[in-house]
Amino acid sequence: MKPVNIGLLGLGTVGGGTAAVLQGNAAEISRRLGREIRISAVCDLSEEKARQTCPSAAFVKDPFELVAREDVDVVVELFGGTGIAKDAVLKAIENGKHIVTANKKLLAEYGNEIFPLAEKQNVIVQFEAAVAGGIPIIKALREGLAANRIKSIAGIINGTSNFILSEMREKGSAFADVLKEAQALGYAEADPTFDIEGNDAGHKITIMSALAFGTPMNFSACYLEGISKLDSRDIKYAEEFGYRIKLLGITRKTGKGIELRVHPTLIPESRLLANVDGVMNAVRVNADMVGETLYYGAGAGALPTASAVVADIIDIARLIEADTGHRVPHLAFQPAQVQAQNILPMDEITSSYYLRVQAKDEPGTLGQIAALLAKENVSIEALIQKGVIDQTTAEIVILTHSTVEKRIKSAIAGIEALVCVDKPVTMIRMESLHD
């Protein structure tokens, strides 16, 4: 069989890893596929790097020239971002080229433009590496769990944030200090905003939600809350209650609509997700027939991510000449069945909550706080009062039973208005992961 020719857009960390996997494991890939995968053209800012990395490939300065080449069957977009990458992908699809991308931002924000065009042009768009690096969660959602109704997904899907939270827990260090450590180790960017404020995880949970529930991409409706305001005291207090704090991406089907959110979350330390530490990722999927499944592995890095990229290339190579009816739909459901659904506002979600209140250490304070919670029908599951901070101030830490978020916010507003309360109340959502 004739080789499948690919054009690489970008030779950064993942692009270089992809070239290394294709070249280093060429014989193994051919044994599995029955044909050769060949890098026929490369586009990168550095011609020297391109010629060193892919010496037998043509170097192309203009990405739009690469996506028009007749000797390119599959365009592998590894530029990242939504500028040139978006335009090049759309042009490649118009030219009838199949696409492999690791670009979660592109898909979460512009997938509603990309996938319909791909259907129209009869081309395949594969994106396993866009979510959780080397973990094959996209294939699981699109194929392995196809017999199920997905109930919920909860995942640790940003390695930078997970490393920071793990170090804060293990060492008791402040957020700012651990962030500097993460940057020194190369786990965090010079500008870490995209990772620590939940944007990266938001793109990933948006993609998984669309696959799980048959909806268009809804990134603009995804609630994002990062970890930059977390205090090491909250991590310590959570442990005293038997919980750990993780940045979770969560999507859940409810009778009122779909939850789509990213935020720090207390989860019981007995749950497997609570014990995923360092830069590792994990995704928990709960479905009606199979029950709970967990997918764990490296969520980033050159070779783990390249492993997913090359697996997508292999899938396309197998399907490139097959009848289109044999292809897995891009968003797991037939295109006509992909339908918009209500995304629940955060005020309407139901959760349990962790509250930390800094208040005057005087008689009646606890009673006033409890009364305001009771007024909103919020019941207390557990409470501890920590020692005096500065001779006059103490900390009260409360875990609530499940309630609607608008009720807890109303109670918090009342608590913060009390004369005896010194600072804004810290609120962190909780998940039992028993749904």
With pLDDT > 90 as the criterion, what percentage of the chain qualifies? 91
pLDDT of residue 223: 99
- Give me the phi and psi of 46, to 5 degrees please: -105, 110
Which of 397, 363, 66, 278 is CA-nearest to residue 54? 66
Residues of the chain with pLDDT under 70: none
pLDDT of residue 372: 98
Confirm if 387 and 393 have CB atoms less than 8 A apart.
no
Spatial separation of the C-alpha atoms in residues 285 and 146, rounded to whole Å:
13
Annotation marks residue 204 as catalytic: yes
DSSP 8-state class, residue 278: T
- The pTM is what? 0.96
pLDDT of residue 98: 98
Which H or E run contains 89?
Answer: helix 84-94
Confirm if 313 and 4 have CB atoms less than 8 A apart.
yes
- The DSSP bridge partners found for residue 254 are 257
CATH number of 4-134+302-334: 3.40.50.720
| Residue 262, both tokens | 């990213």
Spatial separation of the C-alpha atoms in residues 54 and 33, rounded to whole Å:
21
pLDDT of residue 325: 72
pLDDT of residue 392: 83
- Residues 86, 97, 105, 204: which is the catalytic one? 204
CATH superfamily of 138-297: Dihydrodipicolinate Reductase; domain 2 (3.30.360.10)
Domain boundaries, the chain: 4-134+302-334, 138-297, 346-430
Residues placed in the known binding site:
9-16, 104, 189
Residues placed in the known binding site for NADP(+):
9-16
Spatial separation of the C-alpha atoms in residues 61 and 38, rounded to whole Å:
19
Spatial separation of the C-alpha atoms in residues 275 and 300, rounded to whole Å:
18
CATH topology of domain 346-430: Alpha-Beta Plaits (3.30.70)
